[in-house]
Amino acid sequence: MKFLIVGLGNIGKEYENTRHNIGFDILIQWAIEAGFKFEIKKYAALANISYKGKQLYFIMPTTYMNLSGKAVKYWMNELKIPIENIIVIVDDLALDFGTLRLRGKGSNAGHNGLKNIDEELQSNQYTRLRFGIGNDFPKGRQVDFVLGKWPKIQMEQLPERISTAIEICQSFCTTGLANTMSTFNNK
């Protein structure tokens, strides 16, 4: 069984360690821990591993956030992975910092990466792992906040939250959506 794990973010040094790149950060940490490497391929950096009898494919789109759907659609089709075996890791302003929420489908909540994925796939019936980044910004400063660097106190808390996000993705691939949601949501 194959799974596509999509970490959303923007390519380029200026976006490293920003809130909007948490999807990339989670996949990069997973790669470090599991010892796999990404290769630049069409529309994305791609890696894959075998995990508990499952084939896990990881992509970090190189299309920038607003065109993430192009990479997701291409690799979903190329690897012949059904939509129910896709999980997209995304930042979420509506959740407090570090809150992790798994959903089997849903709205894009104004997130440009999810909007584009919805458009490209003509569906919102894919799983998403939302990583809370909070919304502590003045009116009109949302873009600066999302593209801003993590403050020191949150940087110190990130490793533990990233580890939990990896566990959630692993559980999704091995025990399924319902079991993973009941185990991890509301923690």
Write out the catalytic residue numbers: 20
Question: Can you tell me which residue has the tokens 């390519």?
Answer: 11
User: Which two structure tokens, joined as six digits, stand for 4?
Assistant: 């596509």
CA pair distance 167, 18, nearest whole angstrom = 22
Q: Is the dihedral of CA 70, 172, 112, 162 positive or negative?
A: negative
Decide: residue 92, CB within 10 A, 0-12 exposed, 13-18 middle, 19+ buried. Answer: buried
Range list of H helices, 80-140: 112-121
CA pair distance 114, 162, nearest whole angstrom = 20
CA pair distance 14, 149, nearest whole angstrom = 10
Q: Give the H or E element holding residue 167.
A: helix 152-175
Half-sphere exposure of 20 (CA within 13 A, CB side): 22
